[in-house]
Each structure stands twice: as C-alpha cells, then as structure tokens.
Amino acid sequence: MGAVSGPVNGSPPAPAAPSPASVEEVLALVRSTGGRATASRRVLLEVLFSSGDHRSVEDLAAAVQARAPEVHLSTVYRNLEELERLGVIVHTHLGHGPATYQLAGSAHAHLICERCGRRFEAPEELFEGLGRAAAERYGFTIDPRHFAIFGRCADCPPSRPRDDG
Amino acid sequence: MGAVSGPVNGSPPAPAAPSPASVEEVLALVRSTGGRATASRRVLLEVLFSSGDHRSVEDLAAAVQARAPEVHLSTVYRNLEELERLGVIVHTHLGHGPATYQLAGSAHAHLICERCGRRFEAPEELFEGLGRAAAERYGFTIDPRHFAIFGRCADCPPSRPRDDG
DNA sequence: ACCGAAAAGCGAACCGTTTGCATTAGCGTG
DNA sequence: CACGCTAATGCAAACGGTTCGCTTTTCGGT
C-alpha cells in the first residue's frame, strides 16, 4: 500500500500524524519544541532519510560515525529517543536482538519465522480483522508494527517441541 | 476457551502437542530424553504447576529459592531452557522487560497498551483472520503468543507524538 | 559577544541473560 | 548396591543492548 500507515482499528485510517519529509523540516520541528539543531542530530537524520528500514542503533551509529567520527553511541541513543518522542521515527522489535529504527512513515508490521528467521512485511490490511475485533471487544487500538508476529514459514516444520538437530 | 491452544492458521486447531499434566509426568519425559530428575528441576516444576502465568525468571527463581535456597539463578535459566526445548513450557515477551514463562498449555496472546501497560488476554479467535491471511499469502503459520501486540487501550489517547506529561 | 540551557562526549552502571569451569549428584550398569 | 559416566549444578565472570551521571561543549536568543 502506498499510503502512510497508522494504527489499525478497523475503521478508515486515521489522518496519521504528518511526518516531516526532510532533514531540515525535522530540525525545524526540533527547534520549535525547544530543541537544538546540532551536528550529530543532523547527521543522524541524514542517515535515517537516506537509507532503508530496520536499522539497529549500532548500524546507525556506524553510519553516523563514518561522517562524524566523534559522535558517541550514547548520543545516538539520546537522539533516537528524542526523535521518537517527536514522532519522527519509530522503533520496532523484530526478534530477540536489538531494536530497529525507521522513519515513522515507513513503519509496517512483520511476520517472522521463529525457526529460520525469514521475514515478511505484512500490509496493514492483514490486521483489519484483528484490529476490528480488538476495538469492539476491548476498545483497544492495535499497532501491530511495534512487535513482530512470530510463527513458522512454509519451509519450516510446524511448531512443536524443538527438534533442532 | 477451554481448549488447549496452538498456532493459528485459520484451519481447525491442530491436535497440539499433549502437554504433560504433572510434575512427575514431566520428569518422566525429561528422563526419557536422557535428562535427569534433579531437585532443582522438580522444585521449578512444582512452582510452574502451582502458580499463574507470566512469571519472570527472577520471580520463578525467588519462588524456587524459597524452598531450595541454594538453587542458583543460572540453574533456573538452564532448566527453563531445557523445559522449553521439551515443549513443556513457553516464554512470552509482554513488553520491553524480562520474558515471562508459563506452561505451554496455558499460553495465550496479549494486547498491551503501550502507554499505560494495561494488558488484555486475547483469545485465539481474534487472530483467525490474520492467521488465515498469513497462511494464504505467505504460507506462514502465525503464533501470536510469543510477542504481545502493542497498541492503545480505551483510556489512553491515540498513538501520536508522545505527550507523556 | 554573552549567557543560560540543551546536548555532547565519555565512562561506568545497568539489566537480563549466557557461558566457562570445577564440583556434585542422577541413574543405568555391572 | 557400589561404580562410574555424564548431566547438571553453583558460582563468578562475561555478555549485548541500553541507560545514566558528570563535565565540557555548543547552540541560538538577546
């Protein structure tokens, strides 16, 4: 789907927060909330805007440090935290490893094979039924993008006492 | 939902591995695979059989140590690992904290409010549509019990740049 | 240019979990 | 029923991912 995605509740998609579309726009947003447009922030944003989804912090830090070697890992963490608080980016847990980050606009849900790790990007519509049911029964609005859904892919034997020989 | 739960794929529930129903049954299973019925194993199983779901390792270790103080945390981890490998128990990630363990037979999916932490236990049927769609499109059999589904409960404002005041 | 506040750099702490190693103890065998 | 092989334990130390405290730097409004 081409549309910017948002929480799923079975109703027509909510307006969805307008994600800023460029580094400078984000920095303007940062400034407008009392933050500052620092060098490391700018570089981090450039990295985020210029590369794919599902990037670990280590990964992002390496990319940032390629351009600005003095930027510390903890600074990257703090900037990611800030950007997430502003709604610019989002983090996702794809499994047991480190979280992955991406621009809020490009977040999506995942199906992950618990055995071989194979990953499927799941369009929002797959979650319509669940979203509707959760809303009706519990008044709960699901956001299936934050944690992946585990399971078994077609190539891996069905779940059972693990015979991982 | 009296039935023992299993993976969801839109078809009638699979037979589901017959979870042993008592400590001694599990220990027999352990022995049958070359393992040993040790004291710490027995106590851990007693704890698992006698108390609720969603127990953290720390939690379980404390309960075990109440009866057998010398049992070390790492032993609990190793035993949990072994029991999970045998299919007796299962662990679940309810959020960012530690994993929680429970008997395989009592595992279920969760909806968790990302803002207030409120938790709903979701019956399998909620996932039927998703399970069917995932199976049709990707040949993927979901197991929605391993990671919780995040979202917002009725009392918390819809997802957006976090105003956590 | 100045100053208050936000952010950076750095290292150390943190939490949950795993691992290496020497010792103990199940349990099938003889 | 003692013996011995090996699984399992206790312990401490390492681990990976993330957070924190502190001092210094830097942003950016005046």
Instruction: Average pLDDT across each block of 10 residues of chain B; the chain has 165 residues. List them in order.
Output: 46 51 95 97 98 94 97 98 97 95 96 94 96 97 96 83 35
C22 C1' to B100 CA distance, Å:
31
Average pLDDT (A138-157) is 95
Report which residue is nearest nucleotide C16 when distances run from CA to C1'.
B98
At residue A10, the pLDDT reads 45
pTM of the model: 0.86
Tell me if A134 and B128 make a contact (CB, 8 A cut-off).
no
**Which pLDDT band holds residue A158 (cuts at 50, 70, 90)?**
confident
**Which pLDDT band holds residue A24 (cuts at 50, 70, 90)?**
very high
Measured between CA atoms, how close is A41 to chain B, in angstroms? 18
Contacts of A49 (CB under 8 A, 6+ apart): A22, A23, A103
C8 C1' to B97 CA distance, Å:
28
B15 or A106, which is more confident? A106
At residue B164, the pLDDT reads 35
Check if the beta carbon of residue A97 is closer than 8 Å to that of residue A56.
yes
Give the position of tokens 């956001």.
A143
A134-137 LR contacts (CB < 8 Å, sep 24+): A134/A9, A134/B111, A134/B120, A134/B122, A134/B126, A134/B149, A134/B151, A135/A9, A135/A10, A135/A11, A136/A10, A137/B126
Is B128's Cβ below 8 Å from some Cβ in A?
yes
β-partners of residue B113 are B151
Residues in chain A within 8 Å Cβ distance of B144: 149-151
- The answer to whether A50 CB is within 7 Å of strand D is no
- The answer to whether B30 CB is within 7 Å of strand D is yes
A-B contacts (CB, under 8 Å): 136
Average pLDDT (A6-27) is 65
What is the H or E stretch that residue B113 is in? strand B109-113
At residue A20, the pLDDT reads 76
Q: Which of A111, A115, A162 has its CA nearest to residue B90?
A: A162
Average pLDDT (A146-162) is 82
Entry field: residues in chain B: 165
At residue B8, the pLDDT reads 53
Give the position of tokens 């995605």.
A5
Tell me if B152 and A130 make a contact (CB, 8 A cut-off).
no
Report H helices in chain A: 23-32, 39-50, 57-67, 73-85, 128-138
A164 or A40, which is more confident? A40
Burial of B142 by CB count in 10 Å (0-12 exposed, 13-18 middle, 19+ buried)?
buried
β-partners of residue A112 are A119, A150
Distance, CA of A148 to CA of B143 (rounded, Å): 11
β-partners of residue A142 are A8, B151
Check if the beta carbon of residue A93 is closer than 8 Å to that of residue B95.
no
pLDDT tens readout for residues B113-132: 999 999 999 999 999 999 99
In whole angstroms, what separates CA A99 from the centre of its chain? 9
A13 or A63, which is more confident? A63
Residues in chain B within 8 Å Cβ distance of A149: 130, 134, 142-144, 147, 149
Amino acid letter at B27?
Answer: L
Residues in chain B within 8 Å Cβ distance of A12: none
**Which pLDDT band holds residue A161 (cuts at 50, 70, 90)?**
very low
In whole angstroms, what separates CA A86 from the centre of its chain? 14
At residue A11, the pLDDT reads 42
Least CB-CB distance to A150: which of B146, B150, B153? Answer: B146
Pairing of strands B149-152, A141-143: antiparallel
Other C-beta atoms closer than 10 Å to the C-beta of A41 total 23
Report which residue is nearest nucleotide D29 when distances run from CA to C1'.
A34
Give the position of tokens 């480190």.
A98
Provide the token pair at A35: 């933050």
Provide the token pair at A136: 């009706």
b/e code B88-124 from CB counts within 10 Å (16+ = b) = bbbbbbbbeeebbbbbbbebebbbbbbbeebebebeb
Q: Across all residues in chain A, what is the average pLDDT?
A: 88
**Minimum mean pLDDT among A56-60, A112-116, A157-161: which range?**
A157-161
